[in-house]
Structure 1
């Protein structure tokens, strides 16, 4: 699975044109209709398969929060061959979950999308190594074999190396990492990419062959891009820019955000219940893995001092700056120029937060305390 930003821009633009030609109509027309009960049908495109990363949306379906807003929401699985922001721009979904730098690259390539809520306030991306390799920070990656997934997941890694004076094209051996930790555990990769809520947990669910017991955090060293000052905004809710000109879609967007944020507040306070909801939704990962995942995702969301979902301008500007200044191994930056003013708006999330606060929902999570989750072999 190999990708670069240049090819991504070209493919996105071509895909949008092809879709428009095949349908013979606007790629932004996505009238989904209503159910027999009069609920408005809405499709949400995820960027990966159903798992704890998306527990808030799954809970909003399960607990009837979307129904309270007059919506019937269908949640669409993502995957390696699905670009959620493109699905949204082509009118095949009403909303999409996507990382901000990836979505902005698509937007610059012509995708008509607007961010309407920022769910993750912090980055969950880490670079993990065995402690015995003495990789204490980005500068120590020099001369090492460094894994990354590509597909836009590598931007923070490249920014961190560049900030540390390392040329990603010359000073490290870059390898395309699969979406697992097998090559790392086999010692084929010195430093592997991992999400705090997923791949890092997979390490702690694996037996150390030297001891016969599960690996522990003491066996590893991690580079956290939040600590290195190069963290970029990740999971956000994106809407169709053209459809936001329509008052009905505007109202629907407020309702969708309201119910989604209520789902995330529910999962903040009821991790065990959301674990069960996620497993029941069809996740192939185990119960303790899902509990870990939801707990770790909560750490990325809460507390949200300005209100969950609000887009912080400072974090947005940092993400854009990194995207414009950081080059990949082929010398290509993520963005060529600043996004225009229509790239994001807090208009709809502000209205959603007002509705939630009036209904008694805690939208800041100031008293949030994470759980202590005990993982089991294989995350079962």
Structure 2
């Protein structure tokens, strides 16, 4: 169904009642089981979802949501295989999967600013992009390296990953997400999420004032991270798991409750961290000799809040993937020649966000 037909069928009166636009499923009708695949281990990166579950926001929408951790595997795999109904992932994962023909569809953009950094020690004298020349940089495997590669390409720096480059400007080494594996002995610079690995580096004994942090979003490399996605099959489902409601309605309920959880978590960060600490177990404290669960999750929550409260969220449109940002992200990946073909035209489905919020996107879909 096209977006306009869908909105017409939904009804103008329904759209006007934002926040209560969908008929609720009462307990008598039973709760609808939904599996939400998280991109990593339990931590404050997913605080909004833990809050939505713990505060009963999902239950209020008639959903019995199970939050599934995954570690270093791809959420794309579990959602496409049907082991999960919805998932969170980075937009680069989503776009590359779509370009390979996988039927993945983004329904919301939770983080509106990239938290990807390249972090080094001030003593190395790397003050601007050109100064990376002659240094070794630690990157993550697979699609997690794309922001760093896009940064180097934008600033005309060749890397050791490029075929046929005999004397690259930057040597790249791959490391498995724990900076102490390579930093600073094997790599003077490392990929580091502002909300996670930067704090791990601090806990390794390098105070914040000794670090030089290149926030790639500030350099025009805003490859967006955590979104919410599903498959076209789920969205096309007219009777999701025998519940009597459609996959799109389930997605809208899930999204609305999740955004409510995120709004609450950002406004009540200490309480949100407490809820996360009850879930994250051995993954609470990150890494480093000075690490502690409370400190690390508090750091993470504060920086996650900054990624959430950016872009459309500041305009009252939390969860909205702006078409211009989608186009920019596709263009960046095209510049790296990582897309086998162009992502599907329906790689983003804005009607779910419209159902969840009672608003309409300001562009033609």
1:143–1:334 distance in 2 versus 1, CA, 3 Å: same
Structure 1 unpaired stretches of 5+? 1-33, 208-214, 327-332, 356-380
Decide which of 92, 111, 120 is 2:111's aligned counterpart: 120
1:187–1:35 distance in 2 versus 1, CA, 3 Å: farther
Please name the residue that 2:275 is paired with: 277
Cα separation, 2, equivalents of 1:338 and 1:298: 32
- The runs of 4+ residues in structure 1 deviating greater than 6 Å are 34-37
Deviation track 1:279-325 (CA, whole Å, cap 9, x = no partner) reads 10134221111111111001001041251100111111111001111
> Shift of residue 70 of structure 1?
0.2
Q: Which has the higher helix share?
A: 2
| Length-normalised TM-score, structure 2 | 0.81
Query: Does the 8 Å CA contact 1:129/1:220 hold for their aligned counterparts?
Result: yes
1:307 aligns with 2:305: no
Deviation track 1:27-49 (CA, whole Å, cap 9, x = no partner) reads xxxxxxx9998110000111110
Deviation track 1:148-201 (CA, whole Å, cap 9, x = no partner) reads 012211111111111111112322111012211214444221110100000001
Please name the residue that 2:287 is paired with: none
Bigger drift between 37-46 and 183-192 goes to 183-192
1:46–1:36 distance in 2 versus 1, CA, 3 Å: farther
Cα separation, 1, equivalents of 2:95 and 2:146: 13
Please name the residue that 1:195 is paired with: 193
1:320 aligns with 2:330: yes
Please name the residue that 1:353 is paired with: 357
Structure 2 unpaired stretches of 5+? 1-25, 161-167, 239-245, 285-292, 360-365
Cα separation, 2, equivalents of 1:110 and 1:88: 14
> Shift of residue 136 of structure 1?
1.6
1:83–1:225 distance in 2 versus 1, CA, 3 Å: same
Please name the residue that 1:74 is paired with: 66
Deviation track 1:323-373 (CA, whole Å, cap 9, x = no partner) reads 1111xxxxxx22133323210022111221239xxxxxxxxxxxxxxxxxx
Cα separation, 2, equivalents of 1:193 and 1:53: 17
> Shift of residue 71 of structure 1?
0.3
Q: Between Structure 1 and Structure 2, how many residues are aligned?
A: 308
Report the 3-state secondary structure (helix = DSSP H, G, I; strand = E; otherwise coil) of the residue aligned with 2:346: helix
Quote the RMSD (CA, aligned, Å).
Answer: 1.8
- Listed as ranges, the matches of 1:1-380 within 5 Å are 38-80=30-72, 82-169=73-160, 170-207=168-205, 215-247=206-238, 248-283=246-281, 284-285=283-284, 286-303=293-310, 304=313, 305-326=315-336, 333-354=337-358
1:198–1:37 distance in 2 versus 1, CA, 3 Å: farther
> Shift of residue 227 of structure 1?
1.1
Query: Does the 8 Å CA contact 1:100/1:233 hold for their aligned counterparts?
Result: yes
| Length-normalised TM-score, structure 1 | 0.78
